[in-house]
Structure 1
Amino acid sequence: MYGEPALGPDFKALPYANPDAPKGGRIVTGEVGSFDSLNPHIRKGRVPWQLRFIAYESLMGRSYDEPFALYGLLAESIETGPNREWVEFTLRPEARFSDGSPVTVEDVLWSYETLGTIGHPRYHGLWDKVETAEQTGDRSVRFTFNVEDRELALIIGMRPIMKKAQWEGKDFADSGLDEVPIGTAPYVIGDFEAGRFVSMKRNPDYWGNDLPFRRGTNNLDEVRYEFYADENAMFEAFKAGVMNSNRETSAAKWEGQYDFPAMNDGKMVKSEIPHQRPTGIVGYVMNTRNPLFADWRVRSALIHAFNFEFINATLNGGELPRITSYFSNSVLGMSQGPAEGRVKDLLEPFADELLPGALEGYAPPASDGKEANRGNIRKALALLEEAGWSVGSDGVLRNAEGKDFSFKVLLKQGDTARQQTIDIYLEALKRIGIFAEVETVDNAQYNERTQDYSFDMTYYRRGMSLSPGNEQYLYWGADGVSKPGTRNWMGVNSPAAEAMINAMLNAPDQTDFIAATRALDRILTSGRYVIPIWYDPVSRIAHDAGLKYPEHLPIYGDWLGFQPDVWWFEE
C-alpha cells in the first residue's frame, strides 16, 4: 500500500515460518455449535468458519509480519495503472485445483462475479466498485475500477478462487452438505459428519509445495474440527484427550482449571502468544434500529451501568485490560484528550453531527470496583432522565407515555462465559429500574437473527487489523442499516464515519492514513454503540507438547491462520 514490501523477490520463506519443519501429525481443535453447509461463501446455512481460510486460496497472500503487503500466490505477477485505477494479474502456469485441473482465467472471472452478485454480502461491496473484469491473455486478467480507491488493487487479489465447472447446473447460493467444494489450497475435506466434525487432510499433490510463500507452512497431515453443544463439554473433551489443542479466552480459567493429569505429566503444555494488533471491539452491541437505543444518552447510561471493574474482578481476577476504543493497543488508536492536528482537521467539518466526546475526548466510565457502582448508577439515571425516562414509585423505569424500558439480550445456547457476564449486568440494571431478560437460541436461529438484525442487544466481536480499509464500509457503512448480512449490527448511520473511511482509502501516505483511522476511532467510540469489555494482550493456547510453532512470532501474533498454518508436530 505504501512503499515496498519487506520481502524481496528472492525470499526463501515467510519470516514467521520454519522452512525445516517436519511434515506429519495432526491437530484437533473444538468449536461450540454445529454446521449444515460446507460452502463458506454464501449467506445461507452454518459453516465451520475455518473453511473460508483453510480450504481456499486467492490470487495474492498475506504476510502477517507486515500490514498492507501482499505476495503472489495463485498469481505470479501483478501490475497496476499509474493511479491504481486498474490492476492486472497473471496466473502461475502450475496453479491447480485439488482435482488436478488447472486454474484458469475463466475460473477467476466466474468466482469474482458469482461472489459479488449471489455470494455472501461481504463480497458485494468490492464487486460494485469494479467497472470491468476481462481476460487480457492466456493467463492474465484485468480489473478496472469505477472509483478512486488505492486499496482496491490489493484487496481485489484476496478473493477465494473456485472451480467454475463444479457448480454448473447447481444452485451455488443454496449449497449445503451435498457438495464438497473443490479448492486450490493445501488442505481438502477428507471426511465429515453433519454437526459433529470436519477432517481436513493435507493434499500430497498440492500444486504450491515449492513456493517460498508456502515453505514451512501447512505441515500437519490432518486438521480436525470437533463440534460440541457447549464450552464445558468442549473443555472436558480436551482434558480427556479427544482434542489436542484448546484456545482459552478466560484468564481466570487459564490460571485455575488447567490442573489435570495430562498437563501435570507434561503431555500437554500452555503457550502464551503475544501480539501487536488492535484490540478491535468486543462487548455487547445495542441495535439502534430499535428506537429504544436510538438516543446516545440511553446508550451512555447503559454503559455507565455496566460495572466493568467489578465484573472483571469476578470473572477474570481483574487481570484483563479494558478495551478503550476500536483500535486501542495500536498506533491506529485515538489519543486521549481533545482531537489535535490532522485528526481535528478531518473531524471539524462534521462537528454538528458528532456526538459529545468525538472532538473533546472520550473514555469509558470507570467505577470504584464495588458492586453497588453508586457513582455511575447516579450518572446513568441522570442521562436517562435527560432522554425522557424516569423511575416510578414501583421502581420501574418508564417514559412519559408510561412505557417500560425493557429489552432482551440475545445469546447462543451453551455460551457460558457470556451468560455469566450478562447475569451480573442484568442484576445491576435493576438498580435503575430496567428489568431486562436473556433470550437463548440455537446457532441457526442466532446466525439468522444477527444477519437480519432481529435483536435488541447481543454479544459482539469485531477484530481489527493494522491495515484497515474497505472492509470498514461493511462494518460501519450506511448500507448496513437496512441491508442484511453486513457487520454493522449496531446500525451506524454516520456520514462522518464514511468520510473517514474514504480518507483512509485515499491517504497519500502513512501519516494521513493513521490520522484518518484515529478520527474514525473517535467517531465510533463516542457513538457508544457497544458496551466494551476486555481484551487479551496475549492468546492462551493449551496443546499437546508435540505441537510446535516458530520462535519468531508475527506482529499479528495468534491471528487467523497462525494455528495451524505454521505449526508442526514432532515426537
Structure 2
Amino acid sequence: MHTTTDFLYEPLVVFNEMHGNEPVFRLAENFTIADDLMSVTFDIRKGVKWSDGETFDADDVIFSFNLVQENSALDQSGINSWVSKVEKLNDYQVKFYATEANSNVPYEIVKVPIVPEHVWKDVKEPTTFLNENPVGSGPFTVIDTFTPQLYVQCRNPNYWDNDNLEVDCLRVPQIANNDQFLGKVVNSEMDWTSSFIPDIDRTYAAASPNHQYWYPPAGTQAFLVNFKHKDPVKAEALTNVDFRRAFSMALDRQTIIDIAFYGGGTVNDFASGLGYAFPTWSDEATHNKYKGFNTYDVEGAKKLLDKAGFKDVNGDGFVDTPSGKSFELLVQSPNGWTDFNNTVQLAVEQLAEAGIKAKARTPDFSVYNQAMLEANYDVAYTNYFHGSDPHKYWNTGITLRFSQVMVCRASQCTSTKMQS
C-alpha cells in the first residue's frame, strides 16, 4: 500500500492538494525550480536520522534515484521519464535535471521513496528484496505484526518529528470486500478509513453519533478500452472511434450513479474527462461540441454503429465488426468492489440495448491489475483522482495508451486506487 510506504519512508515534500498544492516540507526544507524549468534543487533537512540511528543526507537521495534508474522495475511512478540525472551539490543539497521543461517535475520527484544507502547498497537483487526488517525515515518503521489478516506499524524511535506525532501504532486489518468493510465501520471497529458506503446516512451515520464523514472532491470514474488488444477482432472494434462513441452513448450515467452509488456523484459528459471540477480549464464550446457522445442516447448509439459498419450479420441481436466478425467484450472490475461490480453489470445491460455484446468479469484485484499492466483485457472499469489542478488527472489518465469512457465524477469513491 502507498500509505505503508509513506509511513516507512518519509517523502521529501507532501503537496497538499486540498490547499492548492501547498508544500508541507518533510525530508526537504525547501526546493527551487530553475527559470528554464529544466532543473529542481532540493535543500535536504539536517538532523534527520534513519530508524537505526544512522544519519540521513544527500547521499541517500542520490542513491535512491540512481537505484530506480538502474532498475526500471522499481520505477513505480515513471520518474525515469521525468528526470535525466541527479547531482549532489553538497551534503544537504541535491539537484535534479529534467528530461524536458516542466513545472510539474517536483510533484513527480517526491513520489519516489528515499531508502537508506547503507542498507540497500548491499542488496544484490533490489527488485526481489523482501525488506523484512525495514530501516526507514518515516513515523512508523517498526513492523509489529504482518499477516494476511492484519499488519501493525509502530512508532519510529528516531523519527525527526516525534514531538508532533500523537499516534503510537497503526493497526490495519485486511478486508476482503465492501460488505465486510461495511460491517466493521457500522460496528465502530474502524477509527479512520475511506471507502464507498452505500446510503451512508442510513447505514453508517445513523448507527452512532460518533460516526462522521467527509466527501472531498475525488475524481473521474471511467471504462478503459484496451487499444493494444492482441485479438484482431476485438481490436477492430476497440480502436474504432465511432464504436467507442457508441459505447459511451449507450451508458445511462445517471441511472448508474443512482443505483450503484446511491445517488452520490455527478454525471461527467466532458470529452476531456475533467467534468465540472475544473470549469475554468474547460472551453464550453468544445464541451458542447462533444457532449452528445457522452450523453445517454441508445438510438443515437445504434445509428453511429450502423454508420461505422457495425451490423448484426448473424442475426443474434448483437453487432459484428465491419469485417463481419462477431465478438463479446469482457468488462472487468475487482472482485468484492460491489460499487464497481454493480456499475459494470448495469453497463453490460445498457450496452446490450444498443446491440453491443458484453459480459461482466470480476477477477481478484491482483489479476485485474496485472491484466491492465500487460494490456491483457478488453475493457476495465477504474477511477482517476483529481488534484488541485487537472494535471494529476491528465498525467494518470489521458497520457495512458488507453481510451476512456467517462461515467461520473463521484464525490465519495475515495477508497480505490490502482495502477494502469
Query: What is the TM-score normalised by the length of structure 2?
Result: 0.84
Distance 1:333 1:225, change over 3 A: farther
Partner of 1:563: none
Q: How does 1:67-146 map to 2 (within 5 A)?
A: 67-118=20-71, 119-124=73-78, 126-146=79-99
Deviation readout 1:310-358 (Å, 9 max, x if unpaired): 233333444532133433343466546424xxxxxxxxxxxxxxxxx69
Shift of 1:530: 1.8
Would you say the 8 A contact 1:337–1:361 is kept in 2? Answer: no
Separation in structure 2 between the aligned mates of residue 55 and residue 311 of structure 1, nearest angstrom: 39
Residue 36 (structure 1) aligns with: none
The answer on 1:533 being equivalent to 2:381 is no
- CA deviations 1:500-539 (Å, max 9, x no partner) are xxxxxxxxxxxxxxxxxxxxxxxxxxxxx22413411x68
Change (3 A) 1:191 1:443: farther
Query: What letter matches 1:422 in structure 2?
Result: V
Partner AA of 2:204 in structure 1: Y
- Structure 1 residue runs without a partner (length 5+): 1-47, 340-356, 368-375, 478-487, 493-528, 542-558, 560-571
Q: Counterpart of 2:259?
A: 314
SS of residue matched to 1:184? coil
Partner deviation per Cα, 1:44-85 (whole Å, 9 max, x = no partner): xxxx23223332223233234532442432223434544343
Alignment partner, residue 245 of structure 2: 300
Contact 1:109 1:134 (8 Å CA) reproduced: yes
Letter aligned with residue 228 of structure 1: I
Q: Is the CA contact 1:311–1:424 (under 8 Å) kept in the aligned structure 2?
A: yes
| Maintained 8 Å contact 1:270/1:540 | no
Shift of 1:407: 0.9
Report the RMSD for the aligned CA atoms in angstroms. Answer: 3.1
The answer as to whether partners of 1:282 and 1:532 remain within 8 angstroms in 2 is: yes
Q: Distance in 1 between matches of 2:204 and 2:189?
A: 16
SS at match of 1:390: coil
> Structure 1 residues 399, 431: closer, same or farther in 2, change over 3 A?
same
**One-letter amino acid of the structure 2 residue matched with residue 462 of structure 1:** Y
**1:164 and 1:288 mapped to 2: Cα distance?**
40
Aligned match of 1:219: 166
Partners of 1:474 and 1:534 in 2: how far apart?
A: 15
Which of 433, 446, 449 is the equivalent residue of 2:368? 446
Which residue identity does 2:256 align to in structure 1? Answer: I
State whether residues 151 and 470 of structure 1, in contact with CA within 8 Å, keep that contact through their aligned partners in structure 2.
no
Q: Which residue of the partner structure matches residue 7 of structure 1? A: none
* Cα gap change, 1:130 to 1:432, in 2 (>3 Å): closer
Matched, 1:185 2:106: no
243, 248, 255: which one pairs with 2:201? 255
Equivalent residue in structure 1 for 2:227, among 275, 288, 292: 288
SS state at 2:213 partner: strand
C-alpha distance in 1, partners of 2:141/2:46? 21
SS, match of residue 149 in structure 1: coil
Aligned mates of 1:85, 1:540 — CA distance in 2: 34
Partner residue of 1:381? 302
Question: How far has the Cα of 1:285 moved from its partner?
Answer: 1.6
User: After superposition, where does 1:220-235 map in structure 2 within 5 Å?
Assistant: 220-235=167-182
Where do residues 349-360 of structure 1 align in structure 2 (5 Å cutoff)?
A: 360=289
CA 436–83 in structure 1, closer or farther in 2 if over 3 Å, else same: closer
Separation in 2 of the partners of 1:136 and 1:419?
51
Q: Do the aligned partners of residues 443 and 123 (structure 1) sit closer, same or farther apart at CA in structure 2, a change above 3 Å counting?
A: closer
AA matched with 1:430: A
Amino acid aligned to 1:284: F
Q: Is residue 340 of structure 2 the alignment partner of residue 415 of structure 1?
A: no
Change (3 A) 1:194 1:453: farther
Distance (Å, rounded) in 2 between the aligned partners of 1:438 and 1:195: 28
Deviation at residue 439 of structure 1 after TM alignment: 2.3
* SS of 1:58 mapped into structure 2: coil
- SS of alignment partner, residue 199 of structure 2: helix
User: What secondary structure sits across from 2:211 in the alignment?
Assistant: strand
Question: In the alignment, which residue of structure 2 is the partner of 1:171?
Answer: 125
C-alpha spacing 1:69/1:272, structure 2 compared with 1 (3 Å): closer
Closer, same or farther in 2 for the Cα pair 1:77/1:396, shift >3 Å? closer
- The amino acid across from 2:15 in the alignment is R
Per-residue CA distance 1:345-390 (angstroms, 9 max, x = gap): xxxxxxxxxxxx69x35356445xxxxxxxx221111111112111
User: Residues 472 and 428 of structure 1: is their aligned pair in 2 closer, same or farther, counting only changes over 3 Å?
Assistant: closer
Offset at residue 448 of structure 1 (A) = 1.4
Residues 82 and 302 of structure 1: CA distance in aligned 2, closer, same or farther (over 3 Å)? closer
Mapped partners of 1:143, 1:222: distance in 2: 35
Question: 1:205 is matched with which residue?
Answer: 158
Alpha carbons of 1:388 and 1:462: their partners in 2 closer, same or farther (altered >3 Å)?
same
User: 1:283 is matched by which residue type in structure 2?
Assistant: A
Find 2:269's aligned residue among 324, 330, 342.
324
Tell me if the contact between 1:86 and 1:144 (Cα under 8 Å) persists in the aligned partners. Answer: yes
Deviations 1:234-264 (A, max 9, x none): 22233344433443424x431332377xx34
Question: What is the distance in 1 between the residues matched to 2:219 and 2:413?
Answer: 14
Aligned 8 A contact 2:223 2:379 in 1: yes
Letter in 2 for 1:139: Y
